[in-house]
Chain A
Amino acid sequence: MKTHLTIALLLTAGMLAFAAPPAMPHFRFENFSTANGLPDNHVFSVLVDGDRIWAGTENGLAVYENHAWKTYTAKDGLAHRAVLSLALDSRTGDVWAGTMGGLSRISGGRIDSYTQLNSGLSNDVVYGVSVEGENVWVATAAGGCRLNTRTGQWTLYNERNTPMNEIWVYGVSATPTKVYYAVWGSGLLEYDQKTERWDKYDDPDGETEMVLFKDQGLIHEIVTSVSFVDNIVWAATYFGDSRYDGRYWHNFLTKDSGLPSNFTNTIKGVDANRAWFGTDKGLAYYDGTNWAVYRPSLQSGKPEMTVRDAQGKVTQVAVTTAPAHNYVLGIDFQGSDIWVATAKGLSHGIRQ
């Protein structure tokens, strides 16, 4: 009897030890750089527009169509060569580009640019942009603002009319019900479209780099990116990330999740349970239970994919490709594929 029990335990342990990792998406990454048409390897942002891919680089806005890149620069009317953020107006097909020198609208090949001098834009450094209906919401180095494209009216949001303590706004996610601003050093701002009122979410422990109580609230005041999808807020900071369902917060840190780094540049929710994270140490995916990380190995630089299950077990998955660089700045989806903007190239993750 003892022998049988021992064998059973050993078999179970063995099965657990050799159990396949959770099924996480596999990709074959094709990378773009100046060698194959990008105007610059430093890619801040990426946007999927049907079959077209827009890449905001340090040297212009590039669009990939029919297997060829075309680049728009300041000569074409772009507000600035460095394109930090991108948003698509899915109704009209217009693309909005936030740059280091203003906000540009690309419509049918024409570029109109708005600056703090020629328009009501609050500041020329546009970190984030999001389109909701006929409104374009903008995150700038001097507060947020909203352009009503029908009336042409600009409305500015700053310390004078919102609970924004700092006005360095890094990201914005706008929907017909709620608008969220990621404020660098001032937490997360929420605007209720119906009541036209603001609310604010701060790091409740008041400490900047310590977490006193897990899941107490927003993980940190330095919020870099926000994504509101299916009534769930996904917020990225330089010190971990947060998920908020309107009642409960759940925070993600490297020490208790599969997040490869707490330093997160960008976050993009797929739905209420799934999200992608762009960190300084690779691209991460969370499916609500398990994590996957895609990157060139931090040690060898070779392509690497790791999967972390609910028990915290990390498994290496054999891959031959990886995103162009670990410093991930932008993410967008094309069906089941993913596009990733990195500090050294643009990557197309083709789902396998």
Chain B
Amino acid sequence: MKLRGTCQLNRNHLRTIVVAGLTAAATVLCGLALWPAFNPPARADEDDAVLPRQIDYDSPLEVLISPDGARLYVLCQQSETVRVFNAITNAPIKTIAVGRVPRGIALSYSGDRLFVTNTWDDTLSVIDTRTLSVIATWNVGAEPSGVVEDRAGDRLFVANRISSDVAVLDAHTGMEQKRLLAGRGASYLTLSPDGSRIYCTHVYPNPSDHRTAPESEISVIDTKRAVVVDRIPLHAIAGAFHLAFSADGRLGAVAEYHPKNLVPLAHLEHGGAFAYTLTLIGTDVGKPVEVPLDELERYASQPFGVAFAPDKSRIYVTIGGSECVIAIDVTRLLHFIAAHPRPVSGSFAQDLAASSNYVIARIPVGHNPRGLGFSRDGRKLFVANRLEDTISVIDTRTNRVANTIPLAEPNAISVMRYGEQTFYSARHSFQGQISCSSCHIDSTFDGLTWDLEPDGFGRDVVDNKMLEGVKGIGPYKWNGGNPDLPTECGPRTEKYFWRSEQYDDLTLADLTLYIRNMRTRPNRWKLAGREMTPAQERGKALFERAQDKFGKPIAEVNRCSYCHSGPKGTNRLLFDVGTRKATDNGSLLKSAPLTEIALTAPYLHDGSARTLEEIWTVYNPEDKHGRTNDLTKDELNDLIEYLRTR
């Protein structure tokens, strides 16, 4: 799958080509339509820009070390493989193909089986670690992510991000026994060192009242009974990622984003947009306590992976947006917590001086570091650099990268990859605090509403939106204020979000190309082919109807299918749908696309509708957002069943 020998260009070469392409495109646009077949590599200012030749990357996401310390398993999301290396010599052993867009990986307790979750085909690959081959593929829930097996080897637990639950499977047959209610965006599972509990973290906050602080949780599962026995609240946390425990089980740490979305996003100084933190749990700290990873003028943008040194002396955290690994001295951390009066909230997140007490190193690694794991002796720390296709090997005695394992050689960088790196890197924002992916987690959304500055403080609060399928639906912003993606992602973002250096033209071109070409995940509510359930069929008829139930014609602008027309469900025009709030500057809103709408609660421009139902049961009293008040409850349910297929 690697592009080898055909297009091994360094970035400068590629940029030269892009510039040439843009120049040629401009020439064409000037009227010299003599090259109808001309195919520029990228034209960032048009929605029909052509995707340049793609390079398939590995995109390593997670690493695992075998129990005997001999093997290094690397989960590669983009190449959809597990790559196996000799953990001592770093020599490649084998590449194993798994399912579509894998995300989670875990070893059985005995180490004889490797489990990989495949998020786009909703399966679990079971790999025999002796033969290094896939021996079974089991169906699981919607967008399976984290996976763990219990110590007895009887049950598998799989966190499903879309269905927000944890599936319990028979570890021998793959037969699903039940689903446990988790939080929204259930993604990562951790088995406690004694095996008695499983901890589930979530990339999205749980639904909450409009303009209240996000609330996430750690769902705690009793492994033996396979029931949720506790939920540790994570107040003001929007996204939580890896959780790890010290070997003695007395201290746990979870990496998380703490957004400041309830105040106007007017600056980035002093953590204006985000705090990036760890919440510590366990008997070492008593009640959970949140500690910042940020420094006063340098942020730890988007922490992801967490690992304790085997001797509990250090915690290492990958910082995806800051392209580094942070090393924390555990003794100093616990001393800091014990020595300082605990805030009532249990959070030190606002204290940007705090981390100087316990962060002892900030180790530069590759682009977008994610998963990490220790060698058995704890001397080496392997870090997956997702957007660089490398594994950094950190010498934990010096806290420096001692070696880098390349997954692809030579490392060709495509325009798309530059765009993706830009999307995930916080280097463009003031003091490196945020990037696109701070709010668009894993290129999706964050489930939050934000008060952006340009509309005025407290004015035009807006819901954050999904980016998939964004190509060809301009103008952008809820009020349609930005005509195209370069404007949306360029000057507006730089001025009001990054508050820092401007992208150069090619960086912006790369970024918009990446965003424009994000793949849309499979819709879980659609049946195979074009079939629909009876409820979806009935809902579709309501969506397309031109008469109300009293036989009166519905005005064109008041039909669902008019404003939400086309494959993406938007005619790109502005309408007043009666949802203007006192804090809104105007009433005209662009018809929202319907792509994957079932996933993206809350709804409406300001996120005031917590569910699809509330769009019509609460916020459409005058039938301005489509003629719906003649519908019965079961008909409204049918309409929603159809919308979920979009």
State whether the Cβ of B219 lies closer than 8 Å to any Cβ in chain A: yes
Determine if B228 and A93 form an interchain contact, defined as CB atoms under 8 angstroms apart: yes
State whether the Cβ of A208 lies closer than 8 Å to any Cβ in chain B: no
**Smallest beta-carbon distance B408→chain A, Å:** 39
Determine if A158 and B181 form an interchain contact, defined as CB atoms under 8 angstroms apart: no
Contacts A122-B634, A158-B634 given: A108-B230 contact, CB under 8 Å? yes
State whether the Cβ of A163 lies closer than 8 Å to any Cβ in chain B: no
Which residues of the partner chain B approach A150 to less than 8 Å between Cβ atoms?
A: 141, 163, 179
Determine if A92 and B178 form an interchain contact, defined as CB atoms under 8 angstroms apart: yes
A117 to B228, CA, bound (A): 28
User: Given A92, A120, A153, which contacts B633 in the complex, CB threshold below 8 Å?
Assistant: A120
Contacts A92-B227, A120-B633, A158-B634 given: A108-B219 contact, CB under 8 Å? yes
A119 to B636, CA, bound (A): 10
Determine if B617 and A117 form an interchain contact, defined as CB atoms under 8 angstroms apart: yes
Determine if B613 and A108 form an interchain contact, defined as CB atoms under 8 angstroms apart: no
State whether the Cβ of B149 lies closer than 8 Å to any Cβ in chain A: no
**Smallest beta-carbon distance B634→chain A, Å:** 4
A117 to B621, CA, bound (A): 12
Which residues of the partner chain B approach A110 to less than 8 Å between Cβ atoms?
A: 181, 206, 217, 231
State whether the Cβ of A160 lies closer than 8 Å to any Cβ in chain B: yes
Determine if A105 and B178 form an interchain contact, defined as CB atoms under 8 angstroms apart: no
Q: In A89-124, which residues have CB < 8 Å from any B CB?
A: 91-94, 105, 107-110, 112, 116-120, 122-123
**Smallest beta-carbon distance B200→chain A, Å:** 10
Q: In B222-240, which residues have CB < 8 Å from any A CB?
A: 225, 227-231
Which residues of the partner chain B approach A117 to less than 8 Å between Cβ atoms?
A: 613-614, 617-618
**Smallest beta-carbon distance B596→chain A, Å:** 14
Which residues of the partner chain A approach B141 to less than 8 Å between Cβ atoms?
A: 150
State whether the Cβ of B75 lies closer than 8 Å to any Cβ in chain A: no
Which residues of the partner chain B approach A160 to less than 8 Å between Cβ atoms?
A: 632, 634
Which residues of the partner chain A approach B178 to less than 8 Å between Cβ atoms?
A: 91-92, 134
**Smallest beta-carbon distance B102→chain A, Å:** 23
User: Given A123, A134, A142, A153, which contacts B535 in the complex, CB threshold below 8 Å?
Assistant: A153
Residue of A nearest to B179 (CB): A150
**Smallest beta-carbon distance B345→chain A, Å:** 19
State whether the Cβ of B637 lies closer than 8 Å to any Cβ in chain A: yes
A120 to B644, CA, bound (A): 13
Which residues of the partner chain A approach B640 to less than 8 Å between Cβ atoms?
A: 120
State whether the Cβ of A154 lies closer than 8 Å to any Cβ in chain B: yes
Contacts A116-B617, A120-B613, A150-B163 given: A107-B181 contact, CB under 8 Å? yes
State whether the Cβ of A189 lies closer than 8 Å to any Cβ in chain B: no
Total residues of chain B contacting the partner, CB 8 A? 32
Which residues of the partner chain A approach B101 to less than 8 Å between Cβ atoms?
A: none
Determine if A122 and B633 form an interchain contact, defined as CB atoms under 8 angstroms apart: yes
Contacts A92-B227, A108-B229, A108-B230 given: A118-B611 contact, CB under 8 Å? yes
Which residues of the partner chain B approach A134 to less than 8 Å between Cβ atoms?
A: 178-179
State whether the Cβ of A273 lies closer than 8 Å to any Cβ in chain B: no
Contacts A122-B633, A134-B179 given: A108-B614 contact, CB under 8 Å? no
Q: Of A91, A122, A142, A160, which is in contact with the most chain B CB atoms at under 10 Å from its CB? A: A91
A347 to B391, CA, bound (A): 64
Contacts A92-B228, A108-B219 given: A156-B637 contact, CB under 8 Å? yes
Which residues of the partner chain A approach B460 to less than 8 Å between Cβ atoms?
A: none
Determine if B231 and A154 form an interchain contact, defined as CB atoms under 8 angstroms apart: no
Residue of A nearest to B181 (CB): A107
Determine if A94 and B231 form an interchain contact, defined as CB atoms under 8 angstroms apart: no
Determine if B613 and A118 form an interchain contact, defined as CB atoms under 8 angstroms apart: yes
A156 to B618, CA, bound (A): 20
Determine if B230 and A109 form an interchain contact, defined as CB atoms under 8 angstroms apart: yes
Determine if B180 and A92 form an interchain contact, defined as CB atoms under 8 angstroms apart: yes
Determine if B614 and A118 form an interchain contact, defined as CB atoms under 8 angstroms apart: yes
Determine if A155 and B613 form an interchain contact, defined as CB atoms under 8 angstroms apart: no
Which residues of the partner chain A approach B220 to less than 8 Å between Cβ atoms?
A: 108
User: Given A92, A94, A108, A120, which contacts B637 in the complex, CB threshold below 8 Å?
Assistant: A120
State whether the Cβ of B610 lies closer than 8 Å to any Cβ in chain A: yes
State whether the Cβ of B606 lies closer than 8 Å to any Cβ in chain A: no
Q: In B452-501, which residues have CB < 8 Å from any A CB?
A: none
Determine if B617 and A108 form an interchain contact, defined as CB atoms under 8 angstroms apart: no
Q: In B621-646, which residues have CB < 8 Å from any A CB?
A: 632-634, 636-637, 640-641
Determine if A118 and B181 form an interchain contact, defined as CB atoms under 8 angstroms apart: no
Determine if A156 and B610 form an interchain contact, defined as CB atoms under 8 angstroms apart: no
Residue of B nearest to A160 (CB): B634
**Smallest beta-carbon distance A168→chain B, Å:** 15
Determine if B633 and A108 form an interchain contact, defined as CB atoms under 8 angstroms apart: no
Which residues of the partner chain B approach A93 to less than 8 Å between Cβ atoms?
A: 225, 227-229
A117 to B614, CA, bound (A): 6
State whether the Cβ of A149 lies closer than 8 Å to any Cβ in chain B: yes
Residue of A nearest to B164 (CB): A152
Determine if A107 and B633 form an interchain contact, defined as CB atoms under 8 angstroms apart: no
Residue of B nearest to A89 (CB): B178
Residue of A nearest to B141 (CB): A150
Determine if A154 and B179 form an interchain contact, defined as CB atoms under 8 angstroms apart: no
**Smallest beta-carbon distance A246→chain B, Å:** 29
Determine if B230 and A105 form an interchain contact, defined as CB atoms under 8 angstroms apart: no
Q: In A281-317, which residues have CB < 8 Å from any B CB?
A: none
Q: A216-248: contact bitstring with B at CB < 8 Å (1 yes, 0 no)?
A: 000000000000000000000000000000000
User: Given B180, B228, B610, which contacts A118 in the complex, CB threshold below 8 Å?
Assistant: B610
Which residues of the partner chain A approach B618 to less than 8 Å between Cβ atoms?
A: 117
Which residues of the partner chain A approach B641 to less than 8 Å between Cβ atoms?
A: 153
Q: B586-619: contact bitstring with A at CB < 8 Å (1 yes, 0 no)?
A: 0000000000000000000000001101100110
Determine if B231 and A108 form an interchain contact, defined as CB atoms under 8 angstroms apart: yes
Which residues of the partner chain B approach A108 to less than 8 Å between Cβ atoms?
A: 181, 219-220, 227-231
Determine if B633 and A142 form an interchain contact, defined as CB atoms under 8 angstroms apart: yes
A177 to B220, CA, bound (A): 33
Which residues of the partner chain B approach A156 to less than 8 Å between Cβ atoms?
A: 633-634, 637
Q: Of B225, B525, B634, which is in contact with the most chain A CB atoms at under 10 Å from its CB? A: B634
**Smallest beta-carbon distance B59→chain A, Å:** 30
Which residues of the partner chain B approach A122 to less than 8 Å between Cβ atoms?
A: 633-634
Residue of B nearest to A157 (CB): B634
A120 to B535, CA, bound (A): 13
Q: In B525-540, which residues have CB < 8 Å from any A CB?
A: 525, 535
Q: B172-208: contact bitstring with A at CB < 8 Å (1 yes, 0 no)?
A: 0000011111000000000000000000000000100
A304 to B634, CA, bound (A): 49
A121 to B637, CA, bound (A): 9
A85 to B535, CA, bound (A): 28
Determine if A149 and B179 form an interchain contact, defined as CB atoms under 8 angstroms apart: yes
Contacts A116-B617, A118-B613, A120-B613 given: A107-B228 contact, CB under 8 Å? yes
Which residues of the partner chain A approach B637 to less than 8 Å between Cβ atoms?
A: 120, 154-156
A90 to B3, CA, bound (A): 53
**Smallest beta-carbon distance B598→chain A, Å:** 8
A91 to B228, CA, bound (A): 11
A109 to B640, CA, bound (A): 29
**Smallest beta-carbon distance A221→chain B, Å:** 24
A154 to B636, CA, bound (A): 11
Q: B130-142: contact bitstring with A at CB < 8 Å (1 yes, 0 no)?
A: 0000000000010
Residue of B nearest to A142 (CB): B633
Determine if A109 and B535 form an interchain contact, defined as CB atoms under 8 angstroms apart: no
**Smallest beta-carbon distance B527→chain A, Å:** 12
Determine if A119 and B535 form an interchain contact, defined as CB atoms under 8 angstroms apart: no
A107 to B611, CA, bound (A): 20
**Smallest beta-carbon distance A244→chain B, Å:** 29
Instruction: Write 23 A-B pairs (CB below 8 A) sorted by A numbering.
Output: A93-B227, A93-B228, A107-B228, A108-B228, A109-B230, A110-B181, A116-B617, A117-B613, A117-B614, A118-B617, A119-B611, A120-B613, A120-B637, A120-B640, A122-B633, A123-B633, A149-B179, A149-B181, A153-B641, A155-B637, A156-B637, A158-B634, A160-B634
Q: A108-B227, A156-B633 are in contact. List 19 more A-B contacts (CB 8 A).
A: A91-B178, A92-B228, A93-B225, A93-B229, A108-B220, A108-B228, A108-B229, A110-B181, A112-B181, A116-B617, A117-B617, A117-B618, A118-B614, A119-B613, A120-B633, A120-B636, A120-B640, A142-B633, A155-B637
Per CB-CB distance, the 5 closest pairs between chain A and chain B, nearest first, are A108-B228, A93-B227, A156-B634, A120-B637, A117-B617
